[in-house]
Amino acid sequence: MNKITLAFLTAAFFSVTGFCGVDAKAETDNILKKTISQGIEILKGKETSDAQKLKLFDGLLDQSCHTDLMSMLALGRQGWGVFKTEQRKEFTIAFVNLMTRTYYSKLNQADVTNVKVEYKDNIEISKSKRTLKTLMSSSDNGFEVCYKFALRKGRWAVYDMEVEGISLIASYRSQFTDFLKSKSPAELLLEMKSNDEKFSAVKVVP
């Protein structure tokens, strides 16, 4: 299993959301451990069709990530500023769908039975932000994945991840910024909906 597959495997497993508790470290640790386990069970489901699994992953991403914040960061301040209110809502939906389709296409190729996760440093950045570092490994390689959590409206959830220091959101933002240099927000939305391969988080890993 290569780095790209493992990165997508772990990025998509945020199926349990967290709420503000006494011990944020324990809470975010627990979120990640439970979600990885539940995500693997979804992928193992022999009686679940690809369409059903895709729908489940769509729900996981939407429920357990701060998708509004992720969308804003993926466009950047300048990019977000040129989108109208309705286009921002449309972009958020399209962005979540794009990540779900991309993740699932990679996850569906993975052998999830051999994935091992070592939970390492859980660091408080501020009262509302934490990073949780892990070492992901399979039979043929291992690498670090850092998850970024934010507390918004009383809920802990993921808003970015870094694979060996390279940010998922920054990777998308670079692609969207380049696209918007010569094309409009409406054209970006159309491209996101019609072309799964145009924008891809596989670029997170060189």
Place of tokens 């054209």: 187
Minimum mean pLDDT among 100-104, 108-112, 201-205: which range? Answer: 201-205
Pick among 3.40.50.2300, 3.30.1180.20, 3.40.630.30, 3.10.450.710: CATH of 3-201: 3.10.450.710
Task: Parse the chain into domains and list their residue ranges.
Answer: 3-201
> Which pTM value belongs to this model?
0.80
Between these two residues, 204 and 91, which has the higher pLDDT value?
91
Query: Which of 4-18, 26-40, 165-179: highest mean pLDDT?
Result: 165-179
Q: Read off the pLDDT of each residue in 164-183 and give the average, rounded to a whole number.
A: 92
Half-sphere exposure of 50 (CA within 13 A, CB side): 8
Q: How confident is the model at residue 17 (pLDDT cuts 50, 70, 90)?
A: very low
Residue 23 and residue 43: Cα distance in Å, rounded? 31
DSSP per-residue codes, 5-23? HHHHHHHT---S-EE--S-
Segment 56-105, tens digit of pLDDT: 877 777 777 899 999 999 999 999 999 999 999 999 999 988 887 776 66
